[in-house]
């Protein structure tokens, strides 16, 4: 059976990105591997073994560019309103909280923020499908 272990994002400012993910997603530094040309950083929290890998090229030949096929990361939270307020207080500019209905049932209550490199992160309240 396959086990998901991490998702990787290429970042332009490693320390800024680490701070962002510590504040926004409450992720902690799990490992840091500095190589000659790049550094790999792994972040996680006690809620899940799944990690976020940040890759930073020391001398990038070009800025990271999002392809038109990029989607988003998603996390679940117990209280969408309090998390939205926290991120607003951190000036992370969360979008408005929205509800998605399917066949007259609530599928998701959610909002998005963007990280320093423009990657979208969806916050979904733990209800129904997303417990």
pTM exceeds 0.75 for this model: yes
Domain presence at residue 10: yes
pLDDT in tens, 78-105: 999 999 999 999 999 999 999 998 898 8
Sign of the alpha-carbon dihedral angle for 69, 118, 9, 92: negative
- 128 falls within a domain: yes
Task: Exactly one of 53, 62, 103, 122 is catalytic; name it.
Answer: 122
- Pair of tokens at residue 18: 């680490």
Model confidence over 48-79: pLDDT tens digits? Answer: 999 999 999 998 777 767 776 677 999 999 99
- On whether both 51 and 92 belong to a single domain, the answer is no
Question: HSE on the CB side for 67, CA within 13 Å?
Answer: 5
Residue where a domain terminates, one of 38, 60, 82: 60
> Domain containing 118: what range?
71-131
Q: Are residues 17 and 55 in the same domain?
A: yes
Q: Which of 2, 3, 113, 115 lies closest to 54 in space, CA to CA?
A: 115
Is residue 43 domain-shared with residue 94, that is, in the same domain? no
* Structural domain total, the chain: 2
121 and 83 in a single domain? The answer is: yes
Active site (annotated) includes residue 104 = no
65 occurs within a structural domain: no
Determine if residue 57 is left, alpha or beta; phi over 0 gives left, psi from -120 to 50 gives alpha, anything else beta. beta
Q: Residue 27 and residue 22: Cα distance in Å, rounded?
A: 5
Within-domain flag for 98 = yes
């Amino acid at each position: 059976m396959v086990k998901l272990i991490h998702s990787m994002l290429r970042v332009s400012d490693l320390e800024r990105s680490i701070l962002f993910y510590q504040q926004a997603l409450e992720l902690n530094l799990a490992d840091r591997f500095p190589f000659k040309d790049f550094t790999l950083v792994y972040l996680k929290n006690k809620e899940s073994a799944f990690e976020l890998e940040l890759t930073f090229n020391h001398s990038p030949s070009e800025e990271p560019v999002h392809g038109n096929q990029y989607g988003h990361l998603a996390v679940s939270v117990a209280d969408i309103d309090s998390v939205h307020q926290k991120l607003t207080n951190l000036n992370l500019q969360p979008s408005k909280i929205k509800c998605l209905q399917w066949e007259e049932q609530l599928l998701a209550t959610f909002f998005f923020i963007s990280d320093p490199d423009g990657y979208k992160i969806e916050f979904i309240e733990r209800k129904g499908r997303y417990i």
